[in-house]
Amino acid sequence: MRKLFLILAVVALAVAFTVPARADVNFYGFIRFQTYMKDVSKEATALKLFDDSDLVWKMDDGDSRFGARFKSGDFSANVELRPRSDALERQWNASWNFGAGTLSIGHMWSPEFSCIAGSAYIPGTLGGYGDPGCTVRDDMVQLSIGGLKLALVTPRTAGFGKTGGGDQSVTGFTDTDASLPKIAAAYSLNAGPAAIKLFGGYQTYTETEATTDRGIDIDSYVFGASVGAAFGPAYVKAVYWMGKNEGVYTRWPYRLGTAHGPDWNGTTLTDADNSAYAAVAGYNISETMKIEAGYLASKYECDAGSVSEDTNSAYYVNLPIKLAANMTITPEILFLDNEDIKDAAGVVTEEGDTTIYGAAWVITF
C-alpha cells in the first residue's frame, strides 16, 4: 500500500512540473501519529465477559494525507490522497469561478458537514456520537453563491440500513433503484461575533422485491444549525441536528459500528428518528498552546424492531501544544459512553464505555 502511495506521489510531482507555467501549484500534507491507551469496559466488548485494555501506537492512515492545489485563472483543483487502500482519495475535485459563484465537480466535502468537535484521537469529528458528519466527503456537483452551498450528491443506497446493532439482510430485495441524487445544502452567515450555519439534506431511493417487483421507498433527511463565537482568547461552539433514518443517509451512521436505520418486518417499513447535539469551549492560552473541551450526545428511536431506543454520549479534554512551526502534540482524554439500549419489550441493557488517553503527534509539510 505504501509503495502505491509513493508511486502516486511521484506521479503527482511529475505532473506538477509539466503543467503550463501559468498554473500555480502548491503541495501540502501532514502525518498524524497516535500514541494512546484504550480501556474498554466489558459491556462494550464483543463477548461482554471482561474489561479490556489495549495500546494504540500507529499512524492515523485515515487523516494523514498528501495533496496538491492547482489554480489557473478562473479554474482550480484539489487532489488529496492518504495511505489507505480502502479509501485512497480524500479529495479529487475541480472548480470554475464564473463570477457570481463557483461550480465544483468531483469528490469533495458535502455542504451539510458541520462537525465542531476537536478530538485528536478521532480528528475532525465525533460523528458517531452526535457530531453531524452527514455525508462527509462524496462525489457531487456543487454550486456556491455567497454563503449558500447546494450540492447534488451520489445517493447512499445502503439497503435498509442497520438495526439492532448489525446489518439486516432483507431476503428477496435484490434491486436498488435511485432516480434522484441526494440533495444537500447549507447557508452560512455572520451575526455580530457569531458565525451561524444552517444545513440539511434529503435523499430517497427504492428497494425492489425480485419476485413481485414490489417497491419500498426509503426516505431519509437531516437538518440542523450550528453557531460559533470568539471572545478574545476564548471561543464557544454549539450544534443541534435531527433527522429521519440517519443510519441510511449518513456516511458515519449514529454510533460507529452500531448504526440504526428504519425497521423492516417483512411487510411494513417503520422509520427511525434521530437527534443529537454538541457543545465545545476553548481557550487560547498562548500562541503555542490552547485547551479545549467538548460534550456530545445522540439519540435513536424507532417504534418497531428489536431496538426501540438507543442513547450515546461523549466528552473530551485536550491541550494542543505547538512544539515547532510545523509540529504539534495534543495530549487528550476522551470518554465514549455507549449508555443504554432499550429493546421492543422495554428491557434496558447497559452498553458500556471506552476511555482513551494519550496524545496525537502531527508534523505538517
pLDDT per residue over 149-200, tens digit each? 999 999 887 555 433 333 333 445 667 788 899 999 999 999 999 999 999 9
CATH of the domain at 181: 2.40.160
27 within domain boundaries = no
Domain containing 208 equals 69-321+334-351
Q: Give me the pLDDT at residue 158, please.
A: 59
Specify the pTM: 0.86
14 within domain boundaries = no
Q: What are the tens digits of pLDDT across the range 1-36?
A: 445 444 444 444 444 444 454 679 999 999 999 999
Phi, psi of 12 (to 5 degrees): -60, -40
359 within domain boundaries = no
Grid cell 460534550 in the structure block, residue: 295
How crowded is residue 335: how many other Cβ atoms within 10 Å of its Cβ? 16
363 within domain boundaries = no
- The total domain count for the chain is 1
The contacts of residue 160 (CB under 8 Å, 6+ apart) are 168, 170, 207, 218, 248, 261, 262, 263, 264, 269
- Rounded to whole angstroms, the Cα distance separating 263 from 261 reads 7
88 within domain boundaries = yes
Cα–Cα distances (Å) from 245 to 40, 213, 219, 253, in that order, read 29, 24, 7, 9
57 within domain boundaries = no
- Rounded to whole angstroms, the Cα distance separating 279 from 282 reads 10
Question: Cα angle vertex 101, ends 100, 104, to 5°?
Answer: 150
Sign of CA dihedral 239, 56, 338, 155: positive
In this structure, which amino acid lies at residue 256? L
Most confident of 114-118, 303-307, 355-359: 355-359
287 within domain boundaries = yes
The contacts of residue 324 (CB under 8 Å, 6+ apart) are none
5 within domain boundaries = no
